Amino acid sequence: MQLVPPDAFVQKEVCLDPVLFLFGGDIEQHAGFGRYGRGNNDGNIRMPGSEFMAKDETRVLVFHHQVEDGQIRPGLFDDAFGFLLGVRRDGQEPHLFNGAQKIFAQTPAPEKIAVVWLDMTSPEKLVEELTALMAAGHNDWYFLLSESQKPADVDALAAFAAANGKLYFGSMTDTAFAALDDTTLALDRAVILCHKNAATQYPAEAWVGRCAPELPGSITWKFKSLSGVSESGYTPTEIAAIKEKHGNVVVSQGGILHTTEGTVLSGEFIDVIRSQDWVKARIAEGVFRLLATSPKVPYDDRGIAMVLAEVQGVMQQATAQGIIARDADGNGMWSVTAPKRSEIAANNIANRVLPDVKFEFTLAGAIHSVTVRGVISV
């Protein structure tokens, strides 16, 4: 693994697995006025004494988890002006509000999510603006959600996630799911949760809300009950067709509503992808922090041992979180190796490059089904 500064990675120690929700359309319609500000006829949201956000300006906003009068209310915050509660001018709660509310209704739930308005007139424009958003420095997020569940947009966002180390989640009907491109169905950074009422129940948003706050390795995404989400409503034949393409549904089993397999579209498990990302990001951060905060890391066996210690620390933490399996004695099944200085080529030493630091570990995985056989004697 090539080490790069941690800003290039999708997860940060200080902000574990943040969520980005993409929203299209006219801001005037979806957040017309609020407790401390209101929309004007030009469609802009304004705060007292200052313009808060223009509808044609790309700006990331942050929703915080709030409880108001016993009800979960997603509060829209700006550091300078405080709380803004988005309400449509026609009195109807906007799609954005409902989607955020479904995320925050879960237990546990994220403390906050980031929201950005983008041009969704075409998949190409959507990806173009999302790329520009990241180029502008808004890259500190991991889970990607979008109000648009058009197959063409889902194809584009899934490809974007695959190219940028993100994890995309989409709520779709089985009909829309069947229209996805075959290339999308092979990606390991896209997750689809099918539901007959996907447009109103926001099952993918709920699923991310439920699982994002949990430490990678500590949970499986299967068997999760989602607050406010009913059974997906498909027949066994329809469910089989969805599962064949590695889609997920919500089913009732043993009197419990829960999510099925917890897989990305390639068939790999969500927790495996997330755990691998977590390990790589933590190693890069740890080694970079060592290099950046030490007066210097000497190029000798002592300095190499300092680098090894950073990687070993991540392995120990990953074991504690449940990412790495333990052997019969309870020890983590991992190893970290590096060459001694005497084994390193002179040109690497001259260029101050430490090569061949390697780690290996065995994933703990999770048990999803059990076969029990027994003999009963009379």
Mean pLDDT of 299-325: 98
More confident residue, 8 or 149: 149
Instruction: Collect all residues with Cβ–Cβ distance below 8 Å to 132 and sequence separation of at least 6.
Output: 58
Mean pLDDT of 136-164: 93
Give yes or no for residue 202 having a pLDDT over 70.
yes
Angle at 268 between CA 311 and CA 234, to 5 degrees: 145
Give yes or no for residue 119 having a pLDDT over 90.
no
Tell me what the pLDDT averaged over the chain comes to: 82
More confident residue, 237 or 10: 237
Residue type, 67: V
At 113 the pLDDT is 85
Model confidence band, residue 101 (pLDDT cutoffs 50, 70, 90): confident
Least confident among 23-27, 127-131, 213-217, 277-281: 23-27
Give yes or no for residue 48 having a pLDDT over 50.
no
Q: For residue 205, what are its two tokens? A: 């948003």
Strand partners, 361: 334
At 60 the pLDDT is 61
Domain extent listing, the chain: 6-269, 294-361
Highest mean pLDDT among 60-64, 90-94, 117-121, 332-336: 332-336
Exposed / middle / buried, residue 182 (Cβ in 10 Å: 0-12, 13-18, 19+): exposed
Nearest to 161 by CA among 178, 182, 135, 141: 141
More confident residue, 54 or 99: 99
d(CA 241, CA 264): 15
Mean pLDDT of 321-338: 98
Give yes or no for residue 131 having a pLDDT over 80.
yes
Instruction: Collect all residues with Cβ–Cβ distance below 8 Å to 159 and sequence separation of at least 6.
Output: 127, 183, 184, 187
Residue type, 93: E
pTM of the model: 0.84
- Tell me the per-residue pLDDT of 239-290, one tens digit each, with 9 for 90 and over: 999 999 999 999 999 999 999 999 999 999 999 999 999 999 999 999 999 9
Q: For residue 138, what are its two tokens? A: 């808004």
Q: Is 300 helix (H, G, I), strand (E, B) or coil?
A: coil
At 73 the pLDDT is 55
d(CA 48, CA 14): 32
Q: What is the 3-state secondary structure (H, E, C) of 233-266?
A: CCCHHHHHHHHHCCCECEEEECCEEEECCCECCC
Nearest to 2 by CA among 362, 360, 358, 363: 358
Least confident among 40-54, 105-119, 281-295: 40-54
At 63 the pLDDT is 65
Contact predicate 77/176, CB 8 Å: no
